[in-house]
Structure 1
């Protein structure tokens, strides 16, 4: 392969593709990866998929999966510069990290996972690998099978948040990185990698996602008035809030750690004590999110470089270090959103209807067979070797839909009214 200017710390094996390609021009192999994700149809569809609030909810300023991915990439690229990592590899992994999310975000994941329980389940991160290496049309193997975008090994590995299968997941966890029939490409991209360890670039992608998720979803929840800063500041129900955050964080932190983290955040100069929607308050909230991003990123960079002690981080050179105090602060912001939005009683009927809609649709498409599927997924359905493979084709079809198209398909294929 021609070396198109690989960054320091990266070798020919990192730039290999599952199916070798030859290119001219000045673009690096990693820059080409980034362009392929940006030009993919799956990435464009993220504009109409739920982040926290659905694009169908009528709130035109709330973030969607595409704007979230752009913000994650912005944070990730700057972290990569500070840590000496390949910017295009981290950027692409950040842009691609949510490609596998179905309609209605994590709530949609639950519905698809339940329906596909006997066919390998469903997990958005595993679906991301499937989109990148199989479902997104760009390159084909010699036998005519789709190999997706055919990204480089370094980029695919950086996109892998959970480098293990469902059977290898921790007890009680449903987080995994690949489905059984995607094992060959997973084994290829992990060639030479330590078992169950994420490369540094994937760790940066994961951290960037956590940072963006924590501050921007908090911002959206305030603007949409799910969170009242005055209540947070007055400490009304503070102990119960910290308990809810602790439950959401699955016991990763003590109540004292989370309480201290809340105190540090609320002492920030830009912390809002009330919200009236004015430009002044909008600016203060925006500056709060900027302050938090800078605080989280700077601390992680300093801790990581200190721990690495001059060792290059690229690929598996060293790990990203996020001090426990910063992790607790991120958990507090994410937990507040979970308590006031995701766990809010006023949201539960919506979440239930969304899951019912997707379950109804899956059942209707399964009953109708390949005739109900788009041509690419119908071909996968016909080529399936067993029922599990056919079910996977139906799941792939539904996972590809946007929130609005899922609603439209439900109207077309289901006789069950939404109540």
Structure 2
């Protein structure tokens, strides 16, 4: 992910803003499409295997999720081309990449649960590594500007195929799993899916709203470039920690109580605030140098605040994922939709000449709302963890 950051900075300086805006549109949309198709089943699979289950559900879930994407692909590509002017290569990436990423994400979920974090990271993040190397090579030899989106779908296809081969070699090949286990996976996955959609949407709606509000993908490209070098380092750290957090919290769920929750809140809040202060100051001077143009300092501080809140969000999201019931997870997602509406409203109705400031203000508003919702529901889950889990087992029975 760090290498992709460097590659995208290079890409932003070697292609025009429209091309970079299209690339960022596709790259940010891919995780949202995968999340919408899998709908939380990957997280539910990680939790169930970490609790002591087997991976016999893996291949059936990959097969069913892949069939679902075949239904969703056509309207997604058509809307992206019609409303946002995405070109041919961008449409190809939106059609092909999610299919492969679905397999990669589900295989990574099973590997995470069994503690094989290196292989899980390769399955989940391998396409980003491929894209980073390809984009850097293209920037070095001045290849055509289509390289960015081409690298995304080609890399996802390569590592998607690797994930499928790995699953066929190591897991049960039966496509007819136990009905009770599949039912629990679906119920829990629905909760995870609803809970995760607002976060995925937040990371894409800001760029779409900036493009719509200011009229061109060029403004979205300018905003995406600044967001890339400010928020992305925080998100990279949060992704690494979150990759390990859920399975490890699941394994230690029995020791989680209100005292531990309060202590974790204080420590995480302090760490997030420290990261904000320590990163904002150097980035204020580094971002204009990296991008080769002037950037409003207030926009950088706003976007760094977004990153700091994202780090704090790790606490409620991992705890809620480990001990929360399907109902609590779904409630977090339904209420979290308010964050997406708040983000769009700020970007579309706040008048300002700088798209980076407007986009950053909308993204920060949405991130704070989403984190607050998740935190209060996670606190409730900690308070009533044993009672809620007992009720859910009765419901499943």
TM-score (norm 1): 0.30
RCO higher in structure (CA 8 A, sep ≥6): 2
Higher helix share: 2
TM-score (norm 2): 0.31
